[in-house]
Amino acid sequence: MSGPVIVAAAIVVGQPPRVLAAQRSYPPELAGLWELPGGKVHDGESDVDALVRECREELGVAVRPMHRLGDDVVIGDHGVLRVWWAELVDGEPVALEHSELRWLTPDEIDDIPWLPSDAPVVAALHATWPTGSSDIAG
C-alpha cells in the first residue's frame, strides 16, 4: 500500500465492556462524525508505536494494543485503516483533539453517526465485542 496507514484503537474498559468513541472536530466536512481514536503512522514508525503515540497525543492516556480488530479497511484512494483492540493502562481519556468522547456499550454503538469509512470497523465491533477484558488479550 503506497498511501498513508492510519491506526485506530478500540479501547475497552469496564464490565460490561465499553469502547471509547471520539467525535471529530475537524475538518469541517467530518466535524460531528465519530471515530475510534488514532491517526497516521509516521515514516519509520511501527503501527503499534503509532497507536500508542496517537492515544497519548489525542487522549492523554497510555494504552496497550492487544490484537487486530478486523481486516485492513481501504480509505480514500490509497490509504488503509488498521484497528487494534487496546487496553487502557494509565490515565483517563480527555478530548484533547476531539469535540467529545463517549464510552459505548454494544447497544449504543449504532446511536452515533460514524465516519463512512468506519462502517467495516463498526461491523467488526458488533461481530467481536468482548465479554470481558480477557477477550481482548489475543
For the stretch 52-105, pLDDT in tens is 999 999 999 999 999 999 999 999 888 999 999 999 999 999 999 999 999 999
Do 125 and 10 contact (CB within 8 A), yes or no? yes
Mean pLDDT, the chain, integer: 92
Per DSSP, which regions of 14-131 are E strands?
A: 18-24, 34-35, 38-40, 62-68, 73-75, 79-90, 98-104
CA atoms within 13 A on the CB side of 90: 4
**H-assigned helices in 1-138:** 47-59, 119-128
pLDDT of residue 78: 82
Instruction: Name the pTM for this structure.
Output: 0.91
User: Hey, CA dihedral for 129, 134, 137, 138, is it positive or negative?
Assistant: negative
* CATH number corresponding to 5-129: 3.90.79.10
